[in-house]
Structure 1
Amino acid sequence: MSVLKRSVFVGLVLFALIPLNDAACSMTMLKRGATHCQDIMDKTWHPVGSSWTNGKCVQCTCSASAMSCCDGLPSSVHFTEDCIVEYNYETCTYKVFKRNDRNSPCSHGAVGK
């Protein structure tokens, strides 16, 4: 197999994986005539046509027919045993660092954002 054919094959495989990047999303159908959506995490109400980020960094949108929400932070972070992950829900960020030294970052992989 030539280099070009292999490159095209790898590209097609990667494109096929794109739909999997929304694996951390959900949709809730609304009753006909609903004017608001209720955030499941925060129990707050939001008008149809609005978007928001809740206290757990979940990003939601309320449309006339449904509320859709997607994780704003990775649901799975892969790192070595000597590292830990710390989520900051105020800034919707996270850090991965050595257990015994917060100033030593760890290499990691994230899934689900």
Structure 2
Amino acid sequence: MKRFLAFLVAVGSTVSLSDAQCFVHLQIPGRPYKGCTMNGKLYPLGHIERTENCLRCNCNEAAIQCCSLFFTPVRYDTKNCKVIFSKKRCNYDVVYKDDPSKMCYSNLARVG
């Protein structure tokens, strides 16, 4: 129990000190352990560099902890620009609505 509590404290510290959005899914006690399940997919024990949903995760017998690999734009010219997500690059781009091939850079701020 002490080990589990230490794990939760460590995870909480990691989440609050990081720039990216993070979350923890605890394993269901008493179930046979085969890895971590997230969105219907089973992940192995250990570090997962990148999931198909652009997350970096760590899986252990107690939980799976994941943080996003991308930052969300929050301050940009909403009148002239729009946000699109590139799953290939795991990042949002802010582009001009009338010409999506051009990036909008003025007043761009990103939040993890």
**TM-score normalized by the length of structure 1:** 0.66
**Superposition map of 1:54-69 within 5 A:** 54-69=51-66
Q: Which has the larger radius of gyration?
A: 1
List per-residue Cα deviations over 1:52-79 (Å, max 9, x = no partner).
4222212222123210011122244321
The answer to whether the 8 Å contact 2:54/2:68 transfers is yes
Matched, 1:111 2:111: yes
Matched, 1:95 2:93: yes
Counterpart CA distance in 1 for 2:73 and 2:96 is 17
List gaps (5 residues or longer) in structure 1: 1-17
Counterpart CA distance in 2 for 1:48 and 1:109 is 35
Q: Of residues 82, 85, 94 in structure 2, which corresponds to 1:84? A: 82
Counterpart CA distance in 2 for 1:69 and 1:19 is 14
RMSD (Å), alpha carbons: 2.3
List gaps (5 residues or longer) in structure 2: 1-15
Aligned residues with identical type, % of pairs: 22
List per-residue Cα deviations over 1:26-76 (Å, max 9, x = no partner).
112223662300123xx1101212414222212222123210011122244
Counterpart CA distance in 2 for 1:65 and 1:25 is 16
**TM-score normalized by the length of structure 2:** 0.67
Q: After the TM superposition, which segments of 4 or more aligned residues of structure 1 sit over 3 Å from their partners? A: none
Say which SS state the counterpart of residue 103 (structure 1) adopts. Answer: coil
- Counterparts in 2 of 1:20 and 1:50: CA distance versus 1, 3 Å: closer
The answer to whether the 8 Å contact 1:55/1:90 transfers is no
Say which SS state the counterpart of residue 19 (structure 2) adopts. Answer: helix
Number of residues of Structure 1 aligned to a counterpart in Structure 2? 92
